[in-house]
Structure 1
Amino acid sequence: IGGGGSALRVCAEHRGGINWLSLSPDGQRLLTGSEDGTARLWSTADGQFCALLRGHESYVTFCQLENEAAFTCSADRTIRKWDVLTGQCLQVFRGHTSIVNRILVTNDQLFSSSYDRTARAWSVDKGQVSREFRGHRNCVLTLAYSAPWDLPGAPFEEEAVAGGLLVTGSTDGTAKVWQVASGCCHQTLRGHTGAVLCLVLDTPSHTAFTGSTDTTIRAWDILSGEQLRVFREHQGSVICLELANQHVYSGSADRTVKCWLADTGECVRTFPAHRHSVSALKYHAGTLFTGSGDARARAFDAESGALQRVFRGHAFIINCIQVHGQVLYTASHDGALRLWDVRGLPRAPPPRPAAPQRSLSRLFSNKVGCAAAPLQPA
């Protein structure tokens, strides 16, 4: 079932595992962040190496690529901004006192989460902290941001959401919603009985979806703090989430991916073909791409759940997936970036309203506990 895929190109210049992969908004470049303490820029046109970003004093945990600048964060407790043309470091953001797990750049703000139990907002231009978000009792793993124009609310809420809302997930078992303008905690989302490993935000409905080591996904209204529904069919930690077309896709340590109706929590599909924890998800043009601790990536028809293709060649866990045009990019803890031809996969059907379909059934990084034992290539 599902024909095999051959790599178009293997980029093995990193000397350590790749923890994250980011695609620029214009689709022209890729950025990889590695255990070797460097980040590298690549061209999507031909897969050629463009620039080496060197300066961090420990491994790079996460990265984000914009059209004009690249951003990386590291276990050295700093965040760096880089020129994408020259590879020169333009700014160092200092202030966190432990590993920086995630960053999120939006407009002129940069948000970060850390093992030091805080999240922070920074001025991109000045490189200085503008807000500290303190209240979590353990490390902050993941975050998402909703801009003020995405938050229509009652008049009494206008001041509270004037600067937008930041949502953070922590190993303390809670997610928190913060008022960016004031730095105050707007809501604490309590209900999980394990660490919150991942979250996605549906801004039109101001709903956050959180995945946890307690095996559940939970939906929350970020304005009121109300728990809306609980998704309960996984048998292992929920490691990654993807939101597309009013469906939530979840990857789990139970080796499955599940598809849920976002507005009801009904599980409508299970993708069971993996041999290890599911570590990465990416929905693109009607296809769900998945990466796993079994060192393989897979392509599934998102509508039917049918396995379309298996991509073999990596030797360790696949940490991140991106798709651009007809090329799939996979980044692995084996230190390689691989490019795969995905031509021939079905195109997306016209969008239609979500409805029950009875016939269809990192942020959690390796450093947190999702590392896989070395595997032999299949």
Structure 2
Amino acid sequence: MLWHRLTFLHVKTIVPGHKSGIQCLHYDGECVVTGSSDMTLRLTNVETEQCLHVFENGQNQVLSVLIQGDLLLSADTQGHVYFWNARTGQSEAAIQAHDAAVNKIAFHKGRFFTAASDCTVREWDLLTMTSVRVLQGHKGPIRDVKVSNERIVTCSDDGTIRIWDLIETKRTLRHK
């Protein structure tokens, strides 16, 4: 469902066409990408409601999706991150990012971040697709990650929110 941001009135309902429940989505103002337990992603134009591409995510449930320009990323239950060309619908690459489920992907200034059930967050260089930093400290699966210019914020099944200094990479605050 699409809601108006000022009035909170329902604008439209979009049915991407998944064969199973939708687990995650990302909206860039023009398109919405959805990830499903049917192991597919669907890129849909919000205005026309036309499905632009269907992406096959292998044999694993999609847990997180992210669209940044022509780049689409998806993460799954087995720790993989897939890179897709949103314009052409073609697969670009795939990496084994973690040994456990990648629950969330975030993007910031040419880097992407993965939050996983192995209790770590990894920062990745987008060009080389290599891990440049690992943040550890949570005692349970990490469910979400948000990134700003100076901080990384994570939340976990351990009941804590951790705020990390992006510049110095140390944990700056723990909230329970």
Tell me how far apart the structure 2 counterparts of residues 301 and 344 of structure 1 sit (CA, whole Å). Answer: 17
Structure 1 residue aligned with 2:19:
193
Map 1:218-367 to 2 at 5 A. 218-343=42-167
Q: Which runs of 4+ in 1 moved over 6 A?
A: none
Given residue 200 of structure 1, which amino acid in structure 2 is its aligned partner? H
Q: Distance in 1 between matches of 2:127 and 2:165?
A: 21
SS in 2 for 1:328: strand
Distance 2:150 2:93 in 1: 25
- The percent identity for this pair of structures is 26
**1:341 CA drift (Å):** 2.8
CA distance in 1, matches of 2:115, 2:16: 29
- Per-residue CA deviation, residues 67-91 of structure 1 (Å, 9 max, x unaligned), is xxxxxxxxxxxxxxxxxxxxxxxxx
Code of the residue aligned with 2:148 in structure 1: it is H
- For residue 60 of structure 1, what is the aligned residue in structure 2? none
Q: Which amino acid aligns with 1:244?
A: Q
Shift of 1:343: 2.3
SS at match of 1:106: coil
Structure 1: stretches of 5+ with no match in the other structure: 1-103, 111-120, 122-130, 132-164, 167-175, 178-187, 346-378
Give the letter aligned to residue 342 of structure 1.
Answer: L
What amino acid sits opposite 1:189 in the alignment?
P
Structure 1 pair 223–273 and aligned structure 2 pair: CA distance change class (3 A): closer
Mapped partners of 2:58, 2:126: distance in 1 = 18
**TM-superposition CA deviations, 1:97-151 (whole Å, max 9, x none):** xxxxxxx7823x34xxxxxxxxxx4xxxxxxxxx6xxxxxxxxxxxxxxxxxxxx
Counterpart code for 2:19: T
Once the two structures are TM-superposed, the CA of residue 266 in structure 1 deviates from its matched residue by 1.5
The alpha carbon displacement at 1:254 in A equals 2.4
CA separation in 2, counterparts of 1:105 and 1:256?
Answer: 34
Aligned letter for 1:249?
A: L
Distance 2:107 2:156 in 1: 19
TM-score (norm: length of structure 1): 0.41
Number of positions where the alignment pairs a residue of Structure 1 with one of Structure 2? 169
Q: CA 1:338–1:202 in 2, change beyond 3 Å: closer, same or farther?
A: closer
Corresponding residue of 1:212? 36
More strand by share: 2
The answer as to whether partners of 2:33 and 2:66 remain within 8 angstroms in 1 is no
Equivalent residues of 2:41, 2:57 under 8 A apart: no
- Given that residues 82 and 94 in structure 2 are in contact (C-alpha distance below 8 angstroms), is that contact kept between their aligned partners in structure 1? yes
Q: Per the alignment, do residues 268 and 336 of structure 1 end up closer, same or farther by CA in structure 2, a change over 3 Å counting?
A: same
Q: Secondary structure at the match of 2:158?
A: coil
Alignment partners' CA distance in 1, 2:45 and 2:35: 15
Shift of 1:344: 7.3
Question: What is aligned with 1:106?
Answer: 5
Alignment of 1:159-174 (within 5 A): 165-166=11-12
Where relative contact order (Cα < 8 A, 6+ residues apart) is larger, the structure is 1
Q: In the alignment, is the contact (CA less than 8 A) between 2:16 and 2:42 conserved in 1?
A: no
SS at match of 1:234: coil
Distance 2:45 2:148 in 1: 32
